Structure 1
Amino acid sequence: MGSETAGPRLRRRRVEANGLTFECLCSGDGDRLALCLHGFPDNAGSMDPIRWRLAEAGFTAVAPFMRGYAPTDPAPDGDYSGRALGKDAVELAAALGEEFGTDDAVLVGHDWGAAAAYAAEWIDPDAFSKLVTLAVPPGFDALLYEYPRQALRSWYMWFFQLPDVPERALRWRNFAFIDFLWGLWSPGWDYPEARINDVKETFRAEGTVENALQYYRDTMRPPLPRVGEDRPTLADVPPIETPTLVISGERDGCISPELFEHADEIVGECRVVRVPGAGHFMHQERPDAVGEEIVAFVSDR
């Protein structure tokens, strides 16, 4: 799973961290670590265009399959919350840093990988010297309630709270739901057949569908504030002190670009980039433009 289309040679290795064994795609042998985390519905191969560019820029670049995405272990305690993802990132960076002898780490996260990056910052603000988040703004949980149109865009999050039905929907007609989401979230992207087939292979593995849906069920619990309860606001979001590059796609059908306008209210040192003509999977749709932004940002010490 995952493919190498250019750049340094791909290596695969298994890494023990936070009580799990992670299957990782690795490139490069630099003295700085770049941890690259994928989102949904996707797998570690999603980060190929970023991983090899970072390796060429002098990083040891590692893209793990996230917890519960085979062949990485499922969570032994069934925990797929944002905090668990953040702890994975912190512990993976520590384990990889020790293994490769790297003296600095940066984190690049797309979608759920971005959520993991924010959580990692709140768990250990010294774990990473730079953060790059793609497609999910800081404070998304609070912004979801401030922008009614975003609540409509996020219909799938409510749908995933249903028992059993989402599992059947994902598997229906050879995982056609993945094709549907990719087309909806990145309109106009002529994604490679090999790429989406690779993702479907990950979801065919036993447990991946259930585990991937549990991310949403653990995060949206309860899915809506009860009557009389205050809704979360941006003021409730802990500040982010690590310098962060936040990237959104101008045509993202999943998360509205206007939500990214609040990033500097949460992140102290923040650069926001909107990629013209790109959707939710901007790092695959516009790999050169996005890759150049990321490499320039994390290379500047």
Structure 2
Amino acid sequence: MTLDESKLSHRFTEHGGVRLHYVEAGDGPLVVLLHGFPEIWYSWRHQIPALVEAGYRVIAPDMRGYNLSDKPEGVAAYAIAELTADVAALIQASGAERAAAVVGHDWGGGVAWGFAARYPALLERLVVLNCPHPERLVAGFRTARQLRKSWYMFFFQLPKLPELAAQKDDFAWLRAAVKDDPRRPGAVSDEDLAHYVKAWSEPGALTAMINYYRALFRPGSLGELGRQPRIDVPVQVIWGEHDRYLGSELAAPDPALVPNARVARIPDASHFVHYDRPEKVNQLLLEFLR
């Protein structure tokens, strides 16, 4: 489905002194869409119209540090506690008692897992695209295979150099990730890419985006991730099997921690599964929400 941006409302809300930008469309039960790195709200361009047509109200924020949302200074501002509190603030600002679903991809998926663990009363269902449950991610870091795939996470721990690499040659590295990684030809057009490049050009954006990874590796953070409380809400994991960054063995969460999870593996899709197979992702999403 084609996104008609003229039908979107651009709104702002403030939480803890941080102003968050989000787009909103539709009426009905609330669905919150959380983008990943290095994306923005626009990464859900295929899902927003499908959800609205199916009778849902959609909120898709620029997560803190991204695009038109504020970019607070310091690594601590991007700890998972801060990121999940932003989602709670968005739901409360919407006037809804809870979200029918929180949907997250990549880093948005990490925030979605954390949100479900911390704020179970504020959502009914959880959908995660190509992001392992935190316990599985920590386990993955103990394997050579996942360490090779995650090399960039460790590179991001360096000061300043990651930002210089990311902005080199007009964001060539980030542009390649968004446009060339998807397996479907033409999944990301030049017009689509322009939305991202504009967002990456915002002052302070690159540091803020990379600070997500720096916060993840602060002392104690990984240990905390490995001790997640049980998530009892129904969970749908959607996983593109051709993921350059995360091994497919990480897709299924531990049933002891996530007892009501099901996993849909899509063999001909990349890490950006919602770009490669938008119709299939929309089908799975809507079937799960019904």
Is 1:243–1:269's contact at 8 Å kept on the other side of the alignment?
yes
1:56-67 aligned at under 5 Å gives the runs: 56-67=53-64
Q: 1:185 to 1:146 in 2, by over 3 A?
A: farther
**Greater shift in the superposed pair: 153-162 or 52-61:** 52-61
Q: 1:175 to 1:58 in 2, by over 3 A?
A: same
Runs of 5+ consecutive residues of structure 2 not aligned to the other structure: none
Quote the Cα distance in structure 2 between the aligned partners of 1:169 and 1:121: 34
CA offset at residue 179 of structure 1? 2.6
Quote the Cα distance in structure 1 between the aligned partners of 2:183 and 2:18: 36
Runs of 4 or more consecutive aligned structure 1 residues displaced over 6 Å after TM superposition = none
Q: 1:298 to 1:81 in 2, by over 3 A?
A: same
Quote the Cα distance in structure 2 between the aligned partners of 1:34 and 1:188: 26
The percent identity for this pair of structures is 31
Match of 1:283 in 2: 274
Runs of 5+ consecutive residues of structure 1 not aligned to the other structure: 226-230
SS where residue 206 of structure 1 aligns?
coil
Quote the Cα distance in structure 2 between the aligned partners of 1:107 and 1:279: 21
Match of 1:254 in 2: 245
1:1-301 aligned at under 5 Å gives the runs: 5=3, 9-30=7-28, 32-75=29-72, 79-96=77-94, 98=95, 104-139=99-134, 140-182=136-178, 185-187=181-183, 189-190=185-186, 191-222=188-219, 236-299=227-290
Q: 1:184 to 1:252 in 2, by over 3 A?
A: farther
Which residue type is aligned with residue 70 of structure 1? Answer: N
Is 1:86–1:119's contact at 8 Å kept on the other side of the alignment?
yes
Quote the Cα distance in structure 1 between the aligned partners of 2:10 and 2:61: 10
SS where residue 146 of structure 1 aligns?
coil
Is 2:237–2:252's contact at 8 Å kept on the other side of the alignment?
no
Which residue type is aligned with residue 37 of structure 1? Answer: L
Q: 1:111 to 1:142 in 2, by over 3 A?
A: same
Query: Normalising to structure 2: TM-score of the pair?
Result: 0.90
Query: Normalising to structure 1: TM-score of the pair?
Result: 0.87
Is 1:74–1:211's contact at 8 Å kept on the other side of the alignment?
yes
Query: How many residues end up aligned between the 2 structures?
Result: 287
SS where residue 103 of structure 2 aligns?
strand
Quote the Cα distance in structure 2 between the aligned partners of 1:295 and 1:8: 24
1:36-72 CA-partner distances (Å, limit 9, x unpaired): 0101011110012112211111111010100011311
1:129-159 CA-partner distances (Å, limit 9, x unpaired): 0010111011243122233201110000001
Q: 1:37 to 1:87 in 2, by over 3 A?
A: same
Which residue type is aligned with residue 156 of structure 1? Answer: Y
CA offset at residue 260 of structure 1? 1.2
1:234-288 CA-partner distances (Å, limit 9, x unpaired): 6x33221111111110111111111113443421211111112000111111110
Is 1:203–1:209's contact at 8 Å kept on the other side of the alignment?
yes
Match of 1:228 in 2: none
Quote the Cα distance in structure 1 between the aligned partners of 2:225 and 2:39: 29
When the two chains are superposed, the root-mean-square deviation of aligned CA atoms in Å is 2.5
CA offset at residue 90 of structure 1? 1.5
Quote the Cα distance in structure 1 between the aligned partners of 2:80 and 2:287: 28
Which residue type is aligned with residue 80 of structure 2? Answer: G
Q: 1:76 to 1:7 in 2, by over 3 A?
A: closer
1:174-224 CA-partner distances (Å, limit 9, x unpaired): 100113333675355532122222111100000110100100001112499
Which residue type is aligned with residue 196 of structure 1? Answer: L
Quote the Cα distance in structure 2 between the aligned partners of 1:183 and 1:157: 20
Quote the Cα distance in structure 2 between the aligned partners of 1:11 and 1:172: 33
